[in-house]
Structure 1
């Protein structure tokens, strides 16, 4: 028993000896981003590397707000990300439920098409999508254009299909025998059971919307509808680049995501594990 305990201890020490340096390597750029956000621009490009934060964060934030109206762009990003995440989770859950629990003509074809979309780079579909939304329907510079076109998420559909496929069918059959309607089975039985998977999917979709740059840049040219990533991109000009503002905005956008992930990492890991086991 002692030998097994000692072996386990040695393996734990060896694992931490490998993972801790890797974690520090990953965290170092984030820490430098925080440091740069507190420094004036001449300090960012100083020949000496300063690892201690300075006192210019508020000044950089004021310049960022004056250049971009950053608080407004953060509000737009929050609204878009929340509405997108809730709507996309609901739609992908419905599609996953149908593919997992119902039998219909063409089910294999539908599943094959969804799998096929995973192989397409986003840049292949973004131009036809832009032409359809902006020119055909005339919906550029609207909330609809920011939220609805990216809603379909093939990975989310497959994720939820896997989660629903793992659930015992006898439970749903018993609910049908009791006279429970299909939509009630989906909302009151299946969805609560898939809570870990839904939590993981929410994190993935929220981060995808929060960091989305290309589509909001293409579909919107109004300053009051600008998202935060696009606002940061606008600081890179031909003759001037506001590095202090970019670092400050990056810190503001990164900090909430790190906090959310740390608080929900247990659900995220559980959801990923649940979707990977069959």
Structure 2
């Protein structure tokens, strides 16, 4: 009787294990299907942008839309470079995005280290004031900032007007501070016992450990400034000082728009984003998972 009972129990356990495996397989399959569909939907605008860039003008506005062009052409890319100024717009975007990325990484990391690891009077008060400033809508400070940059300092249509307002942002300081706070303080204390100065501790101890977080900060900053449109549109007036995003509006005229050239310009504009992400992908993936597992 005991043996039969044990056999029945084993059979029930095996049945439960099979059911668990089936449920697990079905659950994972559903998750992968949903993620695959989501990934495809995410790439649809990029794919459509590229396809539209190799169509002629009439095919882009065709109804119903033509998914695969009968006669692919690169005329839209030729028009992008024929309009004049694209190379200068590209250079301006590279200069502005690079300067702002470097300045934000350097200044935000210094401020983040100070708020996370140094003790000084008013540290928490200053930090909470900075956090409070993040809740102020950007539209409220836009007009005073424009008056200050354009009328007071007479910086309109210059690189200084493009970079000074966002040399370092509160959001990046907050991100750097949160990442710095997760770093072990024991190494810092050991370096101080060895008579290391604070600049040396920051350079030799903090920065090597902070590479993933700073890489994430750098990627976010570069992408945000590369895609920035409104502020460069406000403070630039000449064709030579336009950035890529502002320059692409040149293909929109009073009664019509050259959608092919706009799509071709958008494709060329997106290429540096892919290069930056692929170059820093290792640090990016590591940075966004820091703190997920604690040992």
TM-score normalised according to structure 2 size: 0.87
| Cα distance change, pair 277–231 in 1 and its aligned pair in 2 (3 A) | farther
Give 1:41 shift.
Answer: 1.2
| Cα distance change, pair 71–277 in 1 and its aligned pair in 2 (3 A) | farther
Q: Which moved more, 1:75-84 or 1:251-260?
A: 251-260
Q: Per-residue displacement from partner, 1:78-136 (whole Å, max 9, x unpaired)?
A: 11111110111101011111111122222222111211122122222121111111111
Q: Which moved more, 1:16-25 or 1:47-56?
A: 47-56
Aligned match of 1:170: 186
Aligned match of 2:102: 86
Aligned match of 1:274: 290
Aligned match of 1:55: 72
Describe how 1:39-78 pairs up with structure 2 within 5 A: 39-53=55-69, 54-57=71-74, 59-78=75-94
- For residues 36 and 86 of structure 2, the distance between their equivalents in structure 1, rounded to whole angstroms, comes to 35
Q: Which moved more, 1:127-136 or 1:268-277?
A: 268-277
- For residues 292 and 154 of structure 2, the distance between their equivalents in structure 1, rounded to whole angstroms, comes to 41
1:147 aligns with 2:163: yes
The structure with the larger Rg is 2
Q: Which moved more, 1:258-267 or 1:222-231?
A: 258-267
Aligned match of 2:145: 129
- For residues 213 and 21 of structure 2, the distance between their equivalents in structure 1, rounded to whole angstroms, comes to 34
Match of 1:101 among 89, 112, 117: 117
- For residues 252 and 292 of structure 2, the distance between their equivalents in structure 1, rounded to whole angstroms, comes to 41
Aligned match of 1:248: 264
TM-score normalised according to structure 1 size: 0.92
| Equivalenced residues, count | 277
Aligned match of 2:172: 156
SS in 1 for 2:255: coil
1:92–1:156 CA contact under 8 A, matched in 2: yes
Give 1:7 shift.
Answer: 5.0
| Cα distance change, pair 8–256 in 1 and its aligned pair in 2 (3 A) | farther
1:17 aligns with 2:38: no
- For residues 120 and 264 of structure 2, the distance between their equivalents in structure 1, rounded to whole angstroms, comes to 52
Give 1:217 shift.
Answer: 0.9
Aligned match of 1:181: 197
Aligned match of 2:5: none
SS in 2 for 1:131: helix
Across the aligned residues of Structure 1 and Structure 2, the Cα RMSD in angstroms comes to 2.0
- For residues 197 and 227 of structure 2, the distance between their equivalents in structure 1, rounded to whole angstroms, comes to 39
- For residues 271 and 90 of structure 2, the distance between their equivalents in structure 1, rounded to whole angstroms, comes to 13
2:100–2:168 CA contact under 8 A, matched in 1: no
